[in-house]
A and B are shown apart, each in its own frame.
Chain A
Amino acid sequence: MGEVAAVMYLEDVLLVDRCLTGESAATRELFRRHRHRVHACLFRVLGGNRDMDDLLQEAFLQVFQSLRGWRAEASLATWIDRVAVRCAYRYLGQRRRRIATDSIHDLAGDASDASGALAAPEAGPGARRQLARDGVQRLYAVLDALSPAARLAFTLHELDGRSIAETAELVGASLTATKLRVWRARQRIEAAAAADPVLREFLAPGSAAIARIASDDTEAP
């Protein structure tokens, strides 16, 4: 085992052991080490969501309740991600097609507003940022119509940047099934983008809106 991997692995084993003895400092340390990644993963799967705090808490409570089941076959981070993905899956199942994204109702303006925004990309950074936000909202509106399994596969692979193999491992499906789900989700999104200029602009490679929002990225470290 290489130095880096060995250090990470041993730290994980020892930290988990300390957590299992009920040591609150270890629990806090494990939470702090992994919370940014778990939060980012949940956020990308579910979008901006007023239940996000509860979901993060629920995910970590699940982690600590199941910690005895960690067998060190996968890294602790992967195992925690799997627990978080299961939480997201349950949440999607319970609230299927009714994901309470924070500002989904703000989309009422629809294409007329959108075309106005698109007509004036040079209007300033504020307008482009707004356009990017609209693009994200519309993307998640399309994702809300997908099955939980397809949504998970697509968001983990395309939005969270995980490989197909890793995505398949996290969702507990075969590589082929995962590829198929991602492909189908992509088809749905491209079809929606064909009818929605804001979404089309957002998805376009090198989009000014994307570049802008990326530079304003407020992502947690």
Chain B
Amino acid sequence: MRLAGRIPVEPLDEDRVVQIERAVVAGAASAAARGAAAGQTRRTLGRAAFALALAAAGLVGWMLHRASPVATDAAVVRVESVAQRQRLDIGDARITSEPGTAFAVTRPDGGVLVAMARGVVELEVGKRGERPPLVVRAGDTDVIVVGTRFTVDAGDGKGDVAVRVSEGVVRVVHGGHEIRLAAGEHWQNRDILASAFAPVPRGANGTPDRTAQGASAGSNGASAPPATAAADRLDSHAGAAGDAEPGAPEPRAPGDRAERPAPSANADPHASSDSAEPRAPSANADPRIAGAPDAPGGLHDRTAAVPETGAPRNRIAQTPDVLRDRTAAVPGASRDRAHDPSQRRAASDTRVELAAAIRSQPVAPAVDLGGGDAPTRAIERYYDIAAHRSGDEASSAFYSIAVVEHLRLARNADALRALDAYVRRFPRGKEHAAALWLRVRILCLSQFDDRCRAAAYTYLHEAPDGPTTSVAERITQTE
């Protein structure tokens, strides 16, 4: 019985869809208003409870503070500062946000992602060592951090982004180009837009900047497309904070970054960060707080635990053997075997042999790019094909992304995500069987567990005539 994709879905009447959309948008607005009101009430009650607890007993107050809702197990922490600066401690970084700032913190695959909707955040990030980096995403700009102290200003959330580094080094990725910013340097994307339309970028003294022009022509040639040329100019604009703003003088909004004093390299970090970031007065901001942001009560300190997004996978990996045995076909027999060293050895040999059989099955990208592209470049090219073509071409490119992620980058979690997306997007795609097998390969080479067996079962079910059915059958029989 194979019915997937064979039940035709009757489309909804377009007029009715429009009505549904209106009803949903109206319902969502009222839900958002209720959520905001509930949040306000919760915040008010929380403050009252906190003050009461402080008055009652410092210890109890401290414990209550530790037990605040934000500090629990939310994987996403969303912060919206209305009238106060807020400081959020997530363990490996401290994030201070200006009034009017909204952002969310998550932990995808061991890294930290700070996704900004608007406003200004200042981060102090400890050395991350081998851990995946911390990324601040503001609009289409990524700021990638290893360990430093810096400020990201996302403005009103409509595209203007400014980055200023106080300590260490960050990488800024914008429009596919990357620059490094060291302590004392700053960058803002408004300059790119301005310089893209200016005939010649200007230097610090307002004269035409031949260095920047030369860099642009040198790397891309005279025929470089405007976007690329603009991005090259971007590189040349990552100067010291003390430099004047590049580009012709233009009317500036209140609180423009160009008016900020440069942070001193040896200044007290707190003093420099606070004095170096005069902001446009927010309608909601308390002037007393804005003037003395670190005054007692001026900051709303919070500590938040942001568990890793990959926690469910870890749970599976850490499942004790005895629990895994429970899912075997004959639990009692399985446990008995588990206590028998010879049986254990035999099972281990079988797995080694099975892993070798899995590895021996050829897996390759479905699209030959015909060159020695670096893996990440190859993925970009495949993604370009998948996003802009259709049919088998798109299907093959999408599948190839998963192959490169797995074989060349060893990023198996990403490969699995790409495969899930492939199966969803191309339910009867040309590489359907190959994608299901790749899923089996990735999961089973990691561990012969329930996920591996389920993948093998799915492969057998959906591709019963596939070239690797005998191996898949043996996988389903593992314990």
Q: A20-B78, A39-B12, A165-B454 are in contact. Are A190 and B1 (CB under 8 A)?
A: yes
By a CB distance below 8 angstroms, the chain A residues around B74 are 71
Interface residues of A in 153-167 (CB under 8 A from B): 158-161, 163-166
For A68, the closest partner residue in chain B by CB is B35
Residue A21 CB within 8 A of the other chain: yes
The smallest beta-carbon distance between A143 and chain B, in angstroms, is 11
Q: What is the bound-complex CA distance between A32 and B76, given in angstroms?
A: 24
**B8 near A56: Cβ-Cβ < 8 Å:** no
Q: What is the bound-complex CA distance between A218 and B80, given in angstroms?
A: 44
Which size class do B's interface residues fall under?
A: 35 or more
Interface residues of B in 1-25 (CB under 8 A from A): 1-12, 16-17, 20-21, 23-25
By a CB distance below 8 angstroms, the chain B residues around A56 are 12, 20
Residue A94 CB within 8 A of the other chain: no
Q: What is the bound-complex CA distance between A219 and B32, given in angstroms?
A: 33
Residue A119 CB within 8 A of the other chain: no
**Binary interface profile of A, 29-62, with partner B (CB < 8 Å = 1, else 0)?**
0011001000110011000100011001100110
The smallest beta-carbon distance between A63 and chain B, in angstroms, is 8
The smallest beta-carbon distance between B442 and chain A, in angstroms, is 13
By a CB distance below 8 angstroms, the chain A residues around B265 are none
Q: What is the bound-complex CA distance between A189 and B2, given in angstroms?
A: 13
Q: What is the bound-complex CA distance between A166 and B10, given in angstroms?
A: 24
Q: Is the interface of B mostly helix, strand, loop or mixed?
A: helix
Residue A91 CB within 8 A of the other chain: no
Q: What is the bound-complex CA distance between A165 and B416, given in angstroms?
A: 13
Residue B33 CB within 8 A of the other chain: yes
**A161 near B405: Cβ-Cβ < 8 Å:** no
Q: A17-B78, A27-B29 are in contact. Are A4 and B8 (CB under 8 A)?
A: no
Q: Which of B269-277, B341-349, B355-363, B376-384 contacts A (4 or more CB under 8 A)?
A: B376-384
The smallest beta-carbon distance between A125 and chain B, in angstroms, is 15
Q: What is the bound-complex CA distance between A35 and B2, given in angstroms?
A: 25
The smallest beta-carbon distance between A158 and chain B, in angstroms, is 5
**B454 near A14: Cβ-Cβ < 8 Å:** no
By a CB distance below 8 angstroms, the chain A residues around B367 are none
**Binary interface profile of B, 61-87, with partner A (CB < 8 Å = 1, else 0)?**
000000000000011101010000000
By a CB distance below 8 angstroms, the chain B residues around A75 are 417
**Binary interface profile of B, 443-477, with partner A (CB < 8 Å = 1, else 0)?**
00000001100110110000000000000000000
By a CB distance below 8 angstroms, the chain B residues around A53 are 12, 16, 20
The smallest beta-carbon distance between A4 and chain B, in angstroms, is 6
Of B10, B35, B311, B427, the contact of A161 (CB 8 Å cutoff)? B427
**A24 near B29: Cβ-Cβ < 8 Å:** yes
Residue B104 CB within 8 A of the other chain: yes
Residues on A close to B: CB < 8 A? 1-6, 8-10, 13-14, 16-22, 24, 27-28, 31-32, 35, 39-40, 43-44, 48, 52-53, 56-57, 60-61, 64-65, 67-68, 70-73, 75, 77, 136, 139, 158-161, 163-166, 175-176, 186, 189-190, 203, 205, 210, 213-214, 216-220
Residues on B close to A: CB < 8 A? 1-12, 16-17, 20-21, 23-25, 27-29, 31-33, 35-36, 74-76, 78, 80, 102-104, 106, 108-109, 111, 113, 115, 117, 137, 309, 311-312, 327, 376, 379-380, 383, 401, 405, 409, 411, 413-415, 417-418, 420-421, 423-424, 427, 450-451, 454-455, 457-458
| 26 pairs, CB–CB < 8 Å, chain A vs chain B | A1-B108, A1-B414, A2-B379, A2-B405, A4-B421, A8-B421, A9-B108, A13-B106, A13-B115, A14-B115, A14-B137, A24-B28, A24-B29, A35-B17, A44-B9, A61-B24, A70-B76, A136-B8, A159-B6, A164-B454, A165-B454, A175-B327, A190-B1, A214-B5, A214-B8, A218-B11
